[in-house]
């Protein structure tokens, strides 16, 4: 009789165990293995998103669990030379280049750091009528293993913001990426049309991309009809969530265990789950010398 298992189920507070701790506890013995769900069968979904961040292009990354205030540092070769762009359903999207200079050819991959699964995406080639551009954000619409999803990136060319997307259907990629400019309203602020920092969040559903901008409008793109619907955001966002919201750059560095004396810029890309929406955050010291990229990530395995 599994007495130890009964005791664990009766007295253990399983909400205290996050993904890393649950994995370690399952390694103790069979009783713990029976009490805690397997992390390899796709039935683990964390209570809150975690922040994955690293020095831009570095293979050493930190996962931060904000609910428990815990940091987990590891070396992940998939992140070496990469720049994270966004995430959905536990899958992060990244560029395989750390460059933020305009370019005409861009390569991406999607990666689940909890499952150690990676897939390369088709190359995005920028041609007429769009000049060279910088990729700022990226996301997939579904779990990649379902083999029916869209990969989406947001770019800027210092004049306008654009969406590019490509679909996979039954495991076969579309022939080419589709280009669609974001029809940002002209409120007399010309810079807003090209400033990616005006993008507060991007979140997809099966055939829809929703972009929330700092102009208090929501831009919804139907990925099948290629048509936009623009609406004003009224009232507070009940899903808005971020345990790091309102922190100064100095408080943020302290929370994330970053060197206090090193001038730092932070680009933290948000995410949306069925419970939370995390906005993008861009902040820096003066004359920043350290570039930290991060992405909020739903803990799924």
55: Cβ contacts below 8 Å, ≥ 6 apart: 290, 291, 292, 293
Buried b (16+ CB within 10 A) or exposed e, 265-286: bbbbbbbbbeebbbbbbeeebe
Question: Same structural domain for residues 182 and 129?
Answer: yes
* Helices and strands per DSSP (H, E), number in the chain: 4, 21
Which of 201, 229, 262 lies at the terminal end of a domain, its last residue? 201
| Alpha carbon 56 to chain centroid, angstroms | 15
Question: Same structural domain for residues 144 and 171?
Answer: yes
Token representation of residue 194: 């090209």
Lateral strand order in the sheet of 83-88: 83-88, 91-95, 108-112, 117-120
In a domain, 216, yes or no: no
Which residue has tokens 């069968």?
Answer: 41
Residue among 238, 225, 231 at smallest CA distance from 272: 238
Write out the residue range of the structural domain in which residue 260 sits.
43-81+242-300
d(CA 284, CA 267): 9
Question: Same structural domain for residues 73 and 93?
Answer: no
> What stretches of 128-171 adopt beta strand conformation (E)?
134-140, 149-156, 161-169
Question: Same structural domain for residues 98 and 177?
Answer: yes
Residue among 129, 122, 130, 125 at smallest CA distance from 150: 122
Q: Provide the domain count of the chain.
A: 2
Question: Same structural domain for residues 69 and 96?
Answer: no
254: Cβ contacts below 8 Å, ≥ 6 apart: 260
Question: Same structural domain for residues 50 and 101?
Answer: no
3-class DSSP assignment, residue 45: strand
Question: Same structural domain for residues 248 and 274?
Answer: yes
Largest CA distance in the chain: 73
Residue among 291, 136, 141, 140 at smallest CA distance from 213: 136
Look up the pTM and report it.
0.85
In a domain, 224, yes or no: no
3-class DSSP assignment, residue 197: helix
Q: Could you list the pLDDT tens digit for every one of the 301 residues in the chain?
A: 333 333 333 434 444 556 666 666 666 666 556 655 555 555 556 778 999 999 999 999 999 988 888 898 989 999 999 999 999 998 999 999 999 999 999 999 999 988 889 999 999 999 877 789 999 999 999 988 888 999 999 999 878 899 999 999 999 999 999 999 999 876 665 455 568 889 999 999 889 999 999 888 999 999 999 999 999 998 888 888 888 989 999 999 999 999 999 999 999 999 988 888 999 999 999 877 899 999 999 887 6
Question: Same structural domain for residues 67 and 99?
Answer: no
Helix ranges (H only) for the chain are: 3-11, 19-26, 30-35, 249-255
Residue among 50, 53, 44, 49 at smallest CA distance from 25: 44
pLDDT at position 200: 93
Question: Same structural domain for residues 123 and 174?
Answer: yes
pLDDT at position 64: 92
């Amino acid at each position: 009789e599994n007495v130890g298992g009964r005791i664990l189920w009766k007295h253990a507070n399983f909400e205290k165990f996050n993904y890393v701790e649950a994995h370690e506890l399952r390694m103790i013995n069979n009783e713990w293995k029976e009490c805690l769900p397997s992390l390899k069968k796709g039935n683990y979904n964390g209570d809150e998103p975690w922040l994955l961040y690293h020095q831009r292009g570095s293979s050493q990354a930190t996962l931060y669990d904000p609910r428990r205030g815990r940091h987990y540092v590891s070396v992940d070769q998939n992140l070496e030379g990469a720049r994270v762009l966004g995430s959905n359903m536990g899958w992060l999207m990244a560029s395989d280049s750390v460059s933020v200079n305009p370019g005409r050819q861009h390569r991406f991959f999607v990666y689940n750091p909890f499952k150690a699964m990676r897939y390369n995406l088709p190359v995005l080639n920028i041609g007429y009528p769009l000049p060279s551009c910088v990729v700022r954000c990226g996301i997939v619409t579904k779990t990649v293993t379902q083999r029916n999803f869209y990969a989406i990136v947001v770019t800027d060319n210092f004049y306008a913001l654009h969406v590019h997307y490509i679909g996979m259907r039954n495991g076969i990629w579309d022939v080419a990426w589709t280009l669609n400019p974001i029809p940002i309203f002209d409120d007399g602020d010309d810079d807003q049309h090209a400033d990616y920092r005006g993008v507060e969040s991007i979140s997809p559903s099966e055939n829809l991309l929703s972009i929330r901008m700092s102009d208090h409008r929501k831009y919804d793109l139907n990925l099948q009809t290629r048509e936009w619907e623009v609406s004003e955001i009224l009232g507070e966002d009940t899903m808005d969530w971020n345990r790091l919201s309102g922190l100064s750059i100095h408080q943020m560095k302290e929370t994330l265990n970053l060197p206090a004396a090193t001038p730092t810029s932070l680009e933290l890309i948000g995410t949306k789950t069925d419970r939370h929406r995390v906005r993008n955050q861009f902040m820096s010291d003066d004359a920043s010398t350290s570039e930290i990229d991060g992405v909020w990530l739903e803990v799924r395995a």
